[in-house]
Structure 1
Amino acid sequence: MPTIQCHGAELYYEDHGGGDPIVFLHGATAGLRYFEPQLAGLSNEYRTLAVDFRGHGRSEKTELGHTLSQYARDVHEFLLQLDLDDVVIAGWSMGAIVSWEYIRQFGIDRVRAMVDVDMEPSPMKRDDYDYGSYGRDDLEQAINQVQTDPLGLLDEQATAMLKEKPSRELRNLILDEGSRTPPAIQGTLMFGLLYLHDYRDVLRSIDVPALVCAGADEKWRSVESVEHTAELLPESRFELFEDSGHCITIEEPERFNQILGEFISSL
């Protein structure tokens, strides 16, 4: 079981294939298992890597460090220790925001291109922002449910995250990965992810090619809000996945792999 020490946390990761590196970053209360179709399916052409953030998956459940800024520092240390350069960073959901936070802190020296899988610049509704999936009442309700009925919340998410009713296999994946993140960590991340951060200015400054993907049946945010990410990025390509909700990498894995491969070949 490969692990790496990053700022006091033992992080689990997987590393497959060879060639140009792609690093996949997962969403909140998820894990790298959401990228199994990419880690295996793209490894004949690329070096495919993914890491479980601290507090998630098979990584250490540390008491401290559960902020987007620390997760980005962990990613930076991961790239340094594995000597990864000219990396395509593919972030899904919270993982996309961690990738933007990485750029805010460390710039693009090690980054060849960026991929945003179904994430908007700010999940929180704001006075000067036409999008946003959550208001303050939504945030309060979500944090309360994390603390009072975390398994019930995961069960709701298993349906909300997908276009179709989840198969037994996908439902078990969502429940298993989600239950690996302690509720205290979930609540801390939810507050920081939804309330504190707005990456519109960071996106405008990212001077590398970008691919932005949205699920047409996304139930938490609008396609337009994800497409707005592409509008803010100086050099971007937008792709809509008609048969996906929020979990594009496991709902349409073959098409996603094809689109991602074509994007990297065009660089």
Structure 2
Amino acid sequence: MPYLECNGAELYYETNGSGPPIVLLHGVMGSCRFFEPQLSGLSDQFQVTGLDYRGHGRSEKTEMGHTVAGYARDLEAFLDQRGLEDVVLVGWSLGAFVSWEYVDQFGTERLRALVDVDMEATRFQWDDYEYGIIDLEGLAEIMALVQTDRSSLIERISKQVYKEPPDADRWVLQVDELSRVPAPIKSAILFDATMSDYREILPEIDVPTLVCAGTDEKRGTVASVKAVADRIPDATFERFEDSGHCPHLEEPVRFNRVLRAFVHGL
């Protein structure tokens, strides 16, 4: 299994195919396994790479570095060591935050395009933001579950992110991958991600961007994701009618087709 040391952490990654590089950035407590339909389905035309953040999946479970900013620094080290240029970053959920944080810290010199998979500019209910989905009380409740009831946490997340209840294979994936992340790391990155706010960064993005929204609104709203597209200059917005928070898993054939067309059109 391939690993690469980035800023003192051994990061696990998978790479399939050859061609223009696509790098897949997973959601909080997830791993690159959540991108299996893309790692296999796009490798005929692209070099597709899935990266596990430190503390996640098969990467090293370090004590430090579990912030969105830290994950973006790890991403830069990874891209640099792999010699990747003109990269299309595909960020699902937390992965979108990591991609935007990357732009804020390092610019877009290495990037060809960005893809936001169903993520709003911020999750927190700020006074001047109409789309927030969590307040301090809700955050405290999730933190308590992280420390006391892993099974209930996984069940709660699974109910929120899919339009339809997950089948047996997807449920096993959820339990396996979310269980790999130690509770202290869960707490650190959940808090940091919840309090992150990229509203001021989005207008500075100067590469083509595709924004994808699942229409099921158990977790968030289409309007909150559309607001991201509205803030990014010349962004393309795509709705996935049969998806919740995971269109790349819930509608993988269509998602791959949309992503191919977007990259080919650059």
TM range (shorter): over 0.9
Q: CA deviation at 1:217?
A: 0.8
Q: Which residue of 1 aligns with 2:224?
A: 225
The 5 A counterparts of 1:73-152 are 73-152=73-152
Residue 189 of structure 1 deviates from its aligned partner by 0.8
Give the equivalent residue in structure 1 for 2:64: 64
Aligned to 2:29: 29
Amino acid at match of 1:113: A
> What does residue 216 of structure 1 align with?
215
Unaligned 5+ runs, structure 1? none
Alpha carbons 1:162, 1:218 under 8 Å: kept = no
Task: Supply the AA of the counterpart residue of 1:222.
Answer: T
* Aligned pairs, number: 266
Tell me if structure 2 keeps the 8 A contact 1:206–1:234: yes
Between the aligned partners of 1:141 and 1:158, the Cα distance in structure 2 is 16
Shift of 1:175: 0.9
* Distance in 2 of aligned mates of 1:106 and 1:163: 35
SS at match of 2:197: coil
Distance 1:60 1:241 in 2: 34
1:152: how far off?
1.5
Shift of 1:215: 0.7
What is the aligned partner in structure 1 of residue 163 from structure 2?
163
Equivalent in the alignment of 1:182: 182
Could you say which residue in structure 2 is the equivalent of 1:198? 197
| Equivalent AA in structure 1 for residue 21 of structure 2 | P
Give the match for residue 237 of structure 2.
238
Residues 218, 244 of structure 1: 8 Å contact kept: no
Where does residue 6 of structure 1 map in the other structure? 6
TM-fit CA distance, 1:190: 1.1
The equivalent residue for 2:252 is: 253
Letter of the 2:231 counterpart: L
Q: Report deviation, 1:151.
A: 2.0
Is this contact kept in 2: 1:6–1:78, CA < 8 A?
Answer: yes
Structure 2: distance between partners of 1:50 and 1:19:
15
CA deviation vs aligned residue, 1:98-156 (integer Å, no higher than 9, x gap): 00000000000000000000100011011111111111111111111111112211022
d(CA) in 1 for partners of 2:156 and 2:34? 18
Which runs of no fewer than 5 residues in structure 2 stay unpaired? none
TM norm structure 2: 0.99
**CA distance in structure 2 between the partners assigned to 1:218 and 1:57 by the alignment:** 27
SS in 1 for 2:201: helix
For residues 154-195 of structure 1, the C-alpha deviation after alignment (integer angstroms, 9 at most, x for no partner) is 022222211111100011111111000011111111111112
The one-letter code sitting in structure 2 at the alignment partner of 1:4 is L
Query: Aligned to 1:219, what secondary structure does the other structure show?
Result: coil
Q: Does the CA contact (< 8 Å) of 1:151 and 1:179 recur in 2?
A: no
* Secondary structure in structure 2 of the residue aligned to 1:211: strand
Q: Distance in 2 between matches of 1:244 and 1:172?
A: 19
Per-residue CA deviations over 1:8-27 (Å, capped at 9, x if unaligned) read 10000011101100000000
Task: Please give the alpha-carbon distance, in whole angstroms, between the structure 1 residues aligned to 2:226 and 2:260.
Answer: 20
Alpha-carbon displacement from aligned partner over 1:49-89 (angstroms, at most 9, x marks no partner): 01000000000111111011110000000100000000000
What is the alpha-carbon distance in structure 2 between the residues aligned to residue 84 and residue 215 of structure 1? 30
Contact kept, 8 Å, 1:88 with 1:115, in 2: the verdict is yes
Output the CA distance in 2 between the equivalents of 1:9 and 1:55. Answer: 9
Structure 2 Cα separation of the partners of residues 121 and 21 of structure 1: 25
8 Å CA contact retained: 1:214, 1:241: yes
Q: Does 1:54 align with 2:54?
A: yes
Q: Is the 8 A contact 1:154 1:175 kept in 2?
A: yes
Aligned amino acid, residue 264 of structure 1: V
